[in-house]
Chains A and B, each alone.
Chain A
Amino acid sequence: MGCCAWKSVFVQAIVICAIGIGAGLLDSTRRPLRHGGRELPPEVPGTNAGTDAKPPSEPAPKIDLHPGDPGWKPTAQADMPKGQITLEQAKKFFDEGSPFVDARRKEDYEAGHIKGAFRINMKSFENGDPPLLAMIARDANVVVYCSGGHCDESEHVAEFMSDSGYKKVYVIHDGYPGWDAMGYPTEKGEGIQ
């Protein structure tokens, strides 16, 4: 094949990229991104949150042992990013009556969730604030969770809630599996969604 054909392929490829990037730039003006992560909540009183905790940009450590496995221990505050809380801290919020938000899929939620938790996930925000937010006070300590480990849906939901005016949104680092393994209150069924 001659050089002209390759030259033609190259020019066409540049045109495709230019149109794609142009369309992307147009799209970005329609729905601007917010960089830098969510606004972090204040420290949980009586804990070391925000002092020796890892910065939020640092990924959560990998959980090799799953909650319930022999030898598994709840993650310590010092080993998790800012804005995330331990199971013990979450239980304290639970005992105080703080609202809990489950960011997992419908089937996971219905198979078992923290007692009284609302199910609000990322899709719930597709058409603006979900109606369930009307049941959660803006100044409440809100606790969000998903499946722990690599799951980051709770962080995304926390970010959406932060954008919606909630300034005290905490994420349970070990998620629902950790909560369940600790034997804390759970329930099954449709719940509040």
Chain B
Amino acid sequence: MNAEPPTVAPPTKPGLLGWLGVPIRLLIGGVFLWAAWAKIGPSHGPMVFSKAIEAYKLNLPDPLVTLATFGVPWTEALAGIMLILGLWTRAAASVIAAMLLLFIGLGIAAILRGLEIKCGCFGDRTLLCQGGLGWCHIGENSLMTALTLLVVACRKPALALDSITGCRSCKK
């Protein structure tokens, strides 16, 4: 029997994209944590966010508005923490990218329908864009989407818990 023992590929080091992803993860994860806190942290946060959702005039039934009011910020918070820690990094980044794409779609639809409303992205606060919902918010979200997709594309994130726990989604 000359069968050789199965070889285990040595772990490869993070590349340039892996290291570039670190500040991006901290930035996007931090923004999403902050956004979540603005929506559900203060006692008036959920009410303000639910009004912001209703202002988009999606004709959602009340239970769905409630689900979005609480489900979106908690998902943002969880994905934001995981992105910062580098745990299930690509999945967390995918969730955030999907949410951002949804926000972009809803924002464009609202602008094209002529709705003069607040973004609601950060509760009653704002990030870069001031005033009512406009193309600035679409640009802001598009920039964050592009950055987040870089993290999704990176198979070997640096300074990530994934490298300790053994990330299945990082393998080829």
Q: How many residues of A contact B (CB 8 A)?
A: 44
Interface residues of A in 152-176 (CB under 8 A from B): 152-153, 155-156, 159-160
Q: Tell me whether B115 and A20 are in contact (CB under 8 A).
A: no
Q: Tell me whether A9 and B44 are in contact (CB under 8 A).
A: no
Q: Tell me whether A59 and B55 are in contact (CB under 8 A).
A: yes
Q: Tell me whether A8 and B118 are in contact (CB under 8 A).
A: no
Q: How many residues of B contact A (CB 8 A)?
A: 49
Interface 0/1 of A123-139, CB less than 8 Å to B = 10111000000000000
Is B33 located at the chain interface by the 8 A CB criterion? no
Closest to B57 in A: A57
Interface of A is mostly: helix
Complex Cα distance A32/B171, Å?
43
Closest to A159 in B: B47
Q: Mind listing 22 A-B residue pairs with CB under 8 Å?
A: A2-B172, A5-B168, A9-B94, A12-B90, A12-B91, A12-B169, A16-B92, A20-B76, A20-B77, A21-B74, A23-B74, A24-B69, A28-B46, A33-B65, A34-B47, A35-B54, A57-B54, A59-B55, A59-B115, A122-B48, A156-B44, A156-B48
6 pairs of A and B residues whose beta carbons are closest in the complex: A20-B75, A12-B91, A24-B70, A24-B71, A8-B169, A24-B74
